[in-house]
Amino acid sequence: MLITFFRAIILYIIVLIVMRLMGKREIGQLQPFELAISIMIADLASIPMTETGVPIFNGIVPILGLLVMHLIISIINMKSLKAREVICGKPRILIYRGKIDEKALRKERFTINELQERLRGNNVVNLGDVEYAILETSGQVTVIQKPEKRNTIPEDFNITPDYEGIPYDLVIDGKIMEKNLQAIGKNYEWLKKQVEKFNIKPEEALVVTIDGKGQIFCQKKEEG
């Protein structure tokens, strides 16, 4: 029992490292070759994890081999456009200038109901509001609405918003984010003064953030 327990931990760490090295894509954004490798890694890890008679290296070595293959294919994709089209495929336009392309739907084995579902996933409920719908190589559908149906933006009214920058976490669960403090040119003493305005110490905060305009958000950790 303990052997199975420790084998599972070792394989979990190996798979975690391999998936981390493969990149940060979300599952829904994986290319076909990445999805295939992910499934194979899961299968290879499961066998030595439960079968104690199978040497653990029988799972680790193929997993590392798949990692090498992934890196090689990724490099080929970056270097060659033709290879990228063969390996990943090409985006396909499902709706062109407001008209559904039935041939494209048939080639991608897409039904109207599936198309409507994907549109709703993009907060579009009416087919008539769509100018273009593009099926990406990852399987995601990118939707471009007709100009009169799009949400307005400040540029439409010749308004230039103030620069907002990015927010920084200064305290997470009572731990001071020293690197973020350095990034904004501040120190612990400054942080302490800011947090004291909320009648707590930095170490007592659940979260403290600062946005690009210098506004502080602070919340105290619950006791117990």
- Distance, in Å, from the CA atom of 210 to the CA atom of 66, rounded to the nearest integer, reads 42
167-190 confidence digits (pLDDT tens): 899 999 999 999 999 999 999 999
30-56 confidence digits (pLDDT tens): 667 777 788 888 888 887 777 777 788
Mean pLDDT of the chain: 84
Query: What percent of the chain has a predicted confidence (pLDDT) above 70?
Result: 94
Q: How far apart are the first and last CA of the chain?
A: 36
By mean pLDDT, which of 11-25, 70-84, 147-161 is the weakest? 11-25
- Name all domains of the chain by residue range, CATH numbers in brackets: 2-86 (no CATH), 92-149 (3.30.240.20), 168-220 (3.30.240.20)
Q: How many residues does the chain have?
A: 224
**pLDDT the model gives residue 183:** 92
| 21 has pLDDT over 80 | no
**pLDDT the model gives residue 29:** 61
Long-range CB contact pairs, 10-14, < 8 A, 24+: 10/56, 11/45, 11/48, 11/49, 11/56, 11/59, 11/60, 12/45, 14/45, 14/60, 14/63
Global pTM exceeds 0.85: no
Q: Is residue 201 helix, strand or coil?
A: coil
Q: How far is CA 18 from CA 5, 71, 106, 165, in A?
A: 20, 11, 37, 33
